Amino acid sequence: MLENSLETAAASLSINIDGEEYKLSDLSDAARSQLTNMQAVDRQIADIQQQLAIMQTARNAYATALKGEIAEKH
């Protein structure tokens, strides 16, 4: 029963590409593979953006510490 419901739900899933809706079940295996690749790259981009935010925060902290060190000397 649950398996049948999942199959029905999967068959109705769609994706919007350039304003056009496409059912995933209508896409070729090659198209679904490209979609999977795009999703993987999107996840990697999000991870890298998060890493960049962390690095920028650290850089700002180092800059603040540097300014404090310079102020102490003058």
User: CA–CA separation, 59 vs 47, rounded Å?
Assistant: 18
Q: Compute the average pLDDT of residues 51-72.
A: 97
Over residues 2-21, the pLDDT tens digits come to: 666 656 666 679 999 999 99
Q: What is the dihedral of CA 45, 48, 50, 52, to 10 degrees?
A: -130
Q: Name the H helices within the chain.
A: 2-12, 29-73
Is the pLDDT assigned to residue 36 strictly greater than 80?
Answer: yes
C-alpha closest to that of 57 among 65, 47, 46: 65
Q: What are φ and ψ of residue 23, in 5° steps?
A: -75, 135
Q: What is the pTM of this model?
A: 0.71
pLDDT interval class at 74 (50, 70, 90): confident
Q: What is the pLDDT of residue 20?
A: 95
